[in-house]
Amino acid sequence: MKWTAEEDEILKSRIEKFGTGNWSLIAQELQGRTGKQCRERWTNQLNPNLNRDNWSSNEDRILLHQQQIFGNSWSKISKYLPGRSSNSIKNRWSWLSRHRALPQKNNAPAIKIQPQIQQQKPLTMNFDPSTSECLGSISFMMLDLPDVEFSSDFNLQDFPAIDTSDKGLSLWDVL
């Protein structure tokens, strides 16, 4: 059932009153809506912190890289793309997957384009023992994707730490 403008306003006011951790309580105010529906409506549509801008090439690069690590765990990937909902990340991945194949002339089969590593720069990082933080930047591998330019430097503080011990990955696998 499609959400009405009135339901959206009720949802916003209930979130203002109860916060985003009480979805069942919020749903009691909306006849015929479950806590899950309320959470998904807020998370994917109404949250004012959602980034609705066009996707940048850096965001595409992060998405491609994190999808290799986490597979289709869109909520895990969303931690690396602030302001992007899991749903918008899934939709962007689907779009990228469809548009990374280019048709050839004369209706020949499409060619799947695979990213190629152009260069790899070393990891540069400083540890501040007083705050237990890593400061600096990580230089990622540059990928050769047609018609897409990527910046190779990212601020380390923009990315949450990844525990790779249970995945059998080294630091360079993650980068």
Same domain, 13 and 88: no
Same domain, 141 and 63: yes
55-96 pLDDT, tens digit each: 999 999 999 999 999 999 999 999 999 999 999 999 999 999
Mean pLDDT (whole number) for 135-151: 45
Tokens standing for 37? 């529906």
Tokens standing for 138? 């990580």
Total domains in the chain come to 2
Q: Give pTM, 2 decimals.
A: 0.53
Structural domain range at position 22: 5-46
Q: What is the pLDDT of residue 34?
A: 96
Same domain, 10 and 86: no
Tokens standing for 85? 């909902």
* Distance between CA atoms of residues 24 and 38, nearest Å: 8
139: three-class secondary structure by DSSP: strand
Q: Residue 125: beta bridge partners?
A: 136
Same domain, 108 and 130: yes
